[in-house]
């Protein structure tokens, strides 16, 4: 808990003069965080409790029927596997790309501002619209197949359920295009906070560019990367509209399944059970990242 003096006693050196606080009045620290506690309780804790209740309560009292229903559904395990696969493949790629783009911008090329704006354009486009744009590229008679046809390579069914690897590839490419800009913005913002002095000092002592990135820039970028990693992982767990637009239910993802169960199948209980799985995965990922990034010795953000 937060540090506060014993109940009813003024905190030495506190903001309030001795005797100003009446008996039973809560400590200032508690008052200061009270609004956020109220908000957290109303907007996070209460829905969480309601969600758990909904997932585990049937008409006849507590039940695990909905969770079993979820686990028995042929789409659920595919969706879990696809979601995990997407995160594992997508996030390293996005971070590599975003870092490369941010480092390029740091070299102050001409029209740097213009490059920046062009690179953040996908941020302004809704998931579904992005999915539809890529659908027009990858669909059987889309732009990509037209180009291939012109080159004499013949069309290929990129999004067919029979070609799971190209279906996955299409989703990765679309998500990469759509969501890398968010990581990019965070990394650029982080880079602005890194003083050039260190970099220049390292250069004076003869460090190569590669060494400077590895030993000077990246350690100082760590807090930004941590934030971006957590945000991006949670958002990747929520990825849905792009895959939905590109593949329908052929490439199921967890959040798409909650939508399917809630909206198409009208079963909010199973939908909530799947949502709880997403929540659990998000928490595991966030805690994991926090521990991983804190645990390395000799590094200070």
Partner 1 sequence: MTHRSGPISRRALLAGIAAAPVLGACGGVSTTGSGGGAGSITLMSNQFSPVEEKQRFERILQERVTGEKVAFNQVETGIFASTLQTQADAGKVRISVAGALHGDLAPHASRLTDLDDVLASLSDRGFAEELTGLAKLGGSTTKYIPWMQASYVLAVHKKALQWLPPGADVQRLTYDQLLTWTTAARQANGGKPVFGIPAGVKGLYHRFFQGFLLPSFTGGQITTFRGPDAVTAWEYMKQLWAQTARASTTYDNLQEPLQRGEVLIGFDHVARLVGAPAGRPDDWLMVPAPSGPKGLGYMLVLAGLAIPAGAPEPAKAKNVIRALTTPEAQIDVLRQNAFFPVTNAAVPGDLPGAVALAEAAVKAQREAPGAILSLPPVGLGARDGEVGQIFKNCFKEICLDGRPVRQVLDAQARELDRILGELRIPCWRPDPAGNPCRVA
Q: Least CB distance from residue 88 to partner 1, whole Å? A: 23
Put residue 204 in one of left, alpha, beta given phi > 0 → left and psi -120 to 50 → alpha.
Answer: alpha
The binder of partner 1 chosen from 17, 19, 113, 206 (CB under 8 A): 113
What whole-number distance in Å separates Cα of residue 80 and Cα of residue 87? 11
Measure Cα distances from 157 to 104, 130, 138, 253 in Å.
36, 20, 8, 21
* Near partner 1 by CB under 8 A: residue from 87, 185, 203, 213: 185
Q: Is 263 in the site for partner 1 (CB under 8 A)?
A: yes
In 3D, which of 239, 91, 246 has the Cα closest to residue 164?
Answer: 246
Q: Which residues pair with 62 in a beta bridge?
A: 57
For the CB of residue 254, give the shortest distance to partner 1 in the complex, in Å: 17
Q: Tokens for 182?
A: 């968010």
- Which residue in the set 13, 152, 206, 264 belongs to the binding site for partner 1 (CB under 8 A)? 264
Nearer to partner 1, 157 or 293 (CB): 157
Closest distance of CB 80 from partner 1, Å:
16
Which residues inside 192-211 make contact with partner 1, applying CB under 8 A?
192-193, 195-197
Nearer to partner 1, 38 or 121 (CB): 121
161 binds partner 1 (CB under 8 A): yes
Binding mask 125-144 for partner 1 (x = CB under 8 A): xx--x----------x----
- Chain centroid to CA 242: 15
Question: What's the min distance (Å) between Cβ of 23 and partner 1?
Answer: 45
231 forms part of the interface with partner 1 (CB under 8 A): no
> Under 8 Å CB-to-CB from 261, ≥6 apart: which residues?
267, 268, 270, 271, 274
What residues numbered 93-112 form the site for partner 1, per CB under 8 A?
Answer: 105-109, 112
What is the contact mask toward partner 1 in residues 10 to 29, using x (rule: CB under 8 A)? Answer: --------------------
CA distance 181 to 94: 9
Alpha helix segments (H runs only) across the chain:
28-40, 46-56, 65-72, 74-106, 112-120, 127-138, 143-150, 164-192, 196-204, 209-212, 218-237, 241-247, 254-259, 268-294
Number of residues forming the site for partner 1 (CB under 8 A): 45
Alpha-carbon separation of residue 213 from 85, 104, 112, 183 (angstroms): 29, 12, 20, 18
Contact residues for partner 1, defined by CB under 8 A: 59, 65, 69, 72-75, 105-109, 112-113, 116-117, 120, 123-126, 129, 140, 157, 159-162, 185, 188-189, 191-193, 195-197, 248-250, 263-267
């Amino acid at each position: 808990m937060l540090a506060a003096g014993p109940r009813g006693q003024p905190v030495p050196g506190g903001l309030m003069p001795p005797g100003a606080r009446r008996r039973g009045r809560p400590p200032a620290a508690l008052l200061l965080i009270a609004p956020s506690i109220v908000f957290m309780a109303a907007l996070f804790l209460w829905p969480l409790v309601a969600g758990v209740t909904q997932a585990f309560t049937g008409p006849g009292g507590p039940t695990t029927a909905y969770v079993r229903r979820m686990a028995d559904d042929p789409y659920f395990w595919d969706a879990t596997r696809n979601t995990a696969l997407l995160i594992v493949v997508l996030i390293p790629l996005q971070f590599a790309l975003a870092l490369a783009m941010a480092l390029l911008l740091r070299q102050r090329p001409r029209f740097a501002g213009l490059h920046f704006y062009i690179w953040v354009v996908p941020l302004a486009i809704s998931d579904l619209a992005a999915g539809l744009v890529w659908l027009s590229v990858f669909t059987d008679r889309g732009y990509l197949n037209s180009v291939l046809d012109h080159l004499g390579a013949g069309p290929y069914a990129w999004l067919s359920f029979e070609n799971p690897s190209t279906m996955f590839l299409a989703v990765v490419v679309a998500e990469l295009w759509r969501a890398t800009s968010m990581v990019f913005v965070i990394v650029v913002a982080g880079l602005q906070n890194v003083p050039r002095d260190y970099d220049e000092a390292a250069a004076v002592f003869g460090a190569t560019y590669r060494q400077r990135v590895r030993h000077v820039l990246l350690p100082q970028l760590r807090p930004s990367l941590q934030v971006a990693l957590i945000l991006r992982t949670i958002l990747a767990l929520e990825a849905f509209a792009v895959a939905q637009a590109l593949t329908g239910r052929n490439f199921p993802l967890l959040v798409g399944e909650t939508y399917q169960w809630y909206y198409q199948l009208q079963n909010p209980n199973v939908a909530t059970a799947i949502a709880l799985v997403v929540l659990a995965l998000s928490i595991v990922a966030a805690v994991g990242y926090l521990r991983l990034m804190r645990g390395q010795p000799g590094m200070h953000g």
